[in-house]
Each structure stands twice: as C-alpha cells, then as structure tokens.
Amino acid sequence: MRYAAYLASVILTLISIVLVFAHHVDWWWGVAVFGAIAALGTVDLLQTRSTLRRNYPVLAHFRYGLESIGPEMRQYFIEADTAEVPFSRQQRALVYQRSKSVNDVRPFGSQADVYSLDYEWINHSLAPTAHISHDFRVVIGENSAQPYSASVFNISAMSFGSLSANAIRALNKGAKLGNFYHDTGEGSISPYHRENGGDLVWEIGSGYFGCRDDKGMFSEERFIANARDAQVKMIEIKLSQGAKPGHGGVLPAAKVSAEISATRGVPMGQDCVSPAAHTAFNSPQGLLQFVARLRELSGGKPTGFKLAIGHPWEWFGIAKAMQETGVLPDFIVVDGAEGGTGAAPAEFIDHVGVPMHEALMLVHNTLVGLELRDKIRIGAAGRVTSAFDIARTLAMGADWCNAGRGYMFALGCIQAQSCHTDRCPTGIATQDPSRWRKLDVPDKSTRVFHFHDNTLKALRDLLCAAGLSHPGEIGPEHILRRVSPTEVRSLGALYNFLAPGDLLGKVPDHAVFKSFWANARSDSFAAPERLLAMRASKSF
C-alpha cells in the first residue's frame, strides 16, 4: 500500500494518454495532473536524501503538508484560550480589544483556575481611592541636565530592519499621540523614526550603529550628531537582550538595503555584523565611564544601560563599580529571558538568561542594599501585555515597564511566528514592500495609542481598587501568588527583599549574595577564583 498512490498516478496517466489519442481531447487535464503526480513520485523514488519519500512516494508529501500547517491548526482549533505559547489567545484578544477601543469586559466568570499553582491576584482595599488621571509618569535623570518624564508603559527596543518601515512609522506616531517613548532598538534611528516626532530612546549596541566609524568602532562625532537631536530623550547602552543574551547578530549583505546602510552607517554589499561584546569598554568601571561619557556628549540627557542578567558576579561587579567610583547610570532596563526577538537559536531562546522576575529582583535588591535605589530608575521588560502585568512588575521593584510584542499585537500581529522568514503576513516584521505597504499607518498608530491609553486606564482602576493613587505606591505585599493547593504567599513573603544598607560592610543572608558578592570585582567581569578552581578540577 506504500506505493498505491504512486502506482495509481502512473496508471491514470497512461489511461489519460490513451484517451487523448482516442480523440478524447478533453482528457489533456488528466495527462497534466496525473502526469505531474507520477513525476513527483518518480523523483521521490530516485532521490536519496529522504528515506520517507523513497518508502512512501507521493504519500509522504501529505505528511509534510499537514506538518507545515500544524502550528496554525493548533493555534486556531486545539490550544486553550489560556495556553501561553508564547502568548495565549486571551492575552492577544485583550490587546486587540484595547487597541481598537472596543468593549474588553468579560461575562460569566474567570477562565483562570484560581486554585492552580502560580495563580496571582492583587488584593483590594475596603477604602478604594477615587479615580484619578491615568497619565502615570516617572522622572528619569532628575540630576541630569535634561531629565525626562517617562510614561510607566513604553515601546521596547525593536529595530528598523527587524520591523518594517510602516511598522516603525505607526509605532512612533502612536507614541507621539500618547506621549510615551519609543525605543529605537540597536538598529539606530531611521528616517521612519523621525517622521512623526515621537519621543525616542536611542539604543546603542555593540555594533554602534548610527555612531560608528568606518572600522566599526565608536565615533564621538557621529554620536553627537544623533544624540543631540531634540527627539532623542534618553541614551540606552545595550549590554544584552533577554531572548539571546551573549549572542551577536549578522544581517546578510543581501538584506543591507540603501536605507539600512544609511541608518546604521554600514556599507552595502557587506554583512552587517553586531558583535557579541562591546569594544568601547571591557570592565564594569569601563562601562560606567562610557555611560558618563555618553551623558556628557549628549548634552546631559539621561543615560543608562539595558541588560539581561546572567552571571551574578558580573552584575555585582557593575554595582561595586558604582559604589566605588560614584559614577551612576540614570537608569537600568532589565530584560527578561522571556523577551522576544525576530530570530534566535533555539537553545538561546529557551535556555539562556535569567527570567525577568528573578533578574529584576536581583537588580532592585542590589541597589537597595547599596542605598543607591533612590538615585537610579529601573525599567523592566518581558511578556508584558496587561495592566496586571505592569502592576506585578512594579511591585517587584521596577519604576516602569516596556513591551515589544504587546505593541506588535496592537499593530495587528497574529503571532504567525514567521518573523525570521521575511514573509510576515501582517507587514510588521518584513522588509518586503509588497507586504509592509499594506499596513495602514494612520489606523495602526491610533491602535497603538489606544492600547497604551486603555491599558493605563485599567492600571488606574487596579490601583484605585487597592486604595492607591500612583504606581509608585504598589509594593510586594499587594500581589498574592498561590504556591500550593492550600498555601498563598505575597511577593513580599515569597521573595527575599533587602533593606537599605544591607550590602554596606556586610553580606546579607541571601544565597546569591553570599555566594558571589564578596568576590565580585569592579575592574573585571572575570569569574571569582573559587569558581575558576572548581572548573579546573575537571579532567580534560
């Protein structure tokens, strides 16, 4: 039976040929159709790369066809509304509803299992506060020459090149309408970022795109030309990103268009390489010197860095360098391992980097322990789509949140997960003009604005229900999590929070600090001697 389809196609082809020669000319379709199937089966039998095709000529292609549409079949017909892979239908629907400003209320009852492990909620108050303005803001760089008042919910780093021209236009126009910021991503500031005048945070990665010389090194002159633009509100040095920390990138020469070449400052006809590591510094102290240098060159704009936490001693080295030198970033953005990207190796996207909750807690605790927390603002990103996501993240120590894929959903992303193919069906993550030109900028920018606005209204309602007036007031005691069928813990009880000054002259009773704080170095990212000795104990 393995060959039944192939043999049938051969027989039907021969019958069709006979009928045509018998003057039944309308049977040419049979020759064409059955002949093509027979030819396919013959190729299957003769090729040597696929055993499956040799054993099941013709039939094997049905398997490949079904397999190719498997993700779509599961997403639309099989997966539960609450299955997060990586975002649930329920999460996406909420973004779509809020971006379109349509009714987002739900009837009858929650679909969430409130007795399942990890179920979370926010405790309400018997003395709720009156509704207030939902334009929640946080001042970043209070002591810098040009402090910035940022919304508590902004657009994460997504570069032109990863996103299309019209996607960038729509995001930036939405940010302009809603008075929140749009992070450029490390691909630098494109003409499409500038068209609508929305606030920009310029992210500078290891490729120094937009501020590099002809050899790919940092250029002060080119940095100043972009950084002093009034549209640029803050400077963010990218140390690593959650989805693929410690991994560089290559944009093949074929994809380096004239626009990308001009935006990034790279030549056409050559691969555009983003190295895994920076060349402008190689130590914690060097990083802080670079922060101070960029702040000065930009005219005093708030300057900080973004990182995904990995080796704790490296972050501790940065913190010690702050303590020893007195040079502080204005902000730190913590990117969680659950963050998104256009393309990343499977192992990196699944198994590299610390998830946002633990990473945020480590950064927040360290700054509190050094009595630096009031001087440095913290942003956080990692699968944030709802007001509750924002509230939980702020309760764990952040001052504001960023979102990438949430705003992509507002643009119309359907989670096709084809970002790396250049065939994005919604024209968002593609450079194919026949696709991205179909994305209507006025309509999508309005949806971006509405998503931001309605999400902050929902955040306001949560805060008022909890008896609070500003996101800065929410603490770990407000968020509860089920840890067993019969036990519930607040985040304040579940996590170990340091008290101000706990790291000054002592080491707190906290596993990570006890293991790595004392041996972290402000002059080097190198591992402690104890760990090097453990590595050396292995046989090679």
Write out pLDDT tens, residues 404-443: 999 999 999 999 888 888 889 999 999 899 999 999 999 9
Rounded to two decimals, the pTM is: 0.90
Q: Pairing relation of β-strands 272-274 and 303-307?
A: unpaired
15-29, 180-194, 208-222, 288-302 — which is least confidently predicted?
15-29
How far CA 51 is from CA of 4, 43, 45, 57, 494, in Å, comes to 17, 12, 9, 10, 53
Reported as half-sphere exposure (CB side, CA atoms, 13 A), residue 413 has a value of 25
Write out pLDDT tens, residues 227-247: 999 999 999 999 999 888 888
pLDDT above 80 for 75: no
Q: Return the axis-axis angle of helices 28-46 and 4-21, rounded to nearest 10°.
A: 140
What value does the mean pLDDT take over residues 307-315? 96
489, two tokens: 């813990």
Q: Which helix (H) or strand (E) covers residue 38, if one does?
A: helix 28-46
Q: Which helix (H) or strand (E) covers residue 530, if one does?
A: helix 529-536
pLDDT band at 453 (very low <50, low <70, confident <90, very high): very high
> What was the pLDDT predicted at 390?
98
pLDDT above 70 for 540: no
pLDDT band at 539 (very low <50, low <70, confident <90, very high): low
Q: Which helix (H) or strand (E) covers residue 403, if one does?
A: strand 400-403
Residue 478: left (phi > 0), alpha (psi -120 to 50), or beta? alpha
pLDDT above 80 for 315: yes
Reported as half-sphere exposure (CB side, CA atoms, 13 A), residue 180 has a value of 29
DSSP label of 463 = H
φ, ψ dihedrals at 60, nearest 5°: -60, -30
What value does the mean pLDDT take over residues 303-310? 97
Write out pLDDT tens, residues 261-277: 899 999 888 888 888 89
Work out the mean pLDDT of the chain and round it to a whole number: 93
Domain positions in the chain are 3-78, 158-493
172-186, 242-256, 343-357, 405-419 — which is least confidently predicted?
242-256
119, two tokens: 């179920």
Q: Residue-wise over 220-248: b if at least 16 C-beta within 10 A, else e?
A: eebbeebbeeebbbbbbbbbbbbbbbebe
User: Contact, 383 vs 338, CB < 8 A?
Assistant: yes
Nearest-5° Cα angle at 406, 420 to 106: 130
Residues 158-493: name the CATH superfamily.
Answer: Aldolase class I (3.20.20.70)
Look at 530 and 137; give whichever has higher pLDDT.
137
User: Contact, 365 vs 510, CB < 8 A?
Assistant: yes
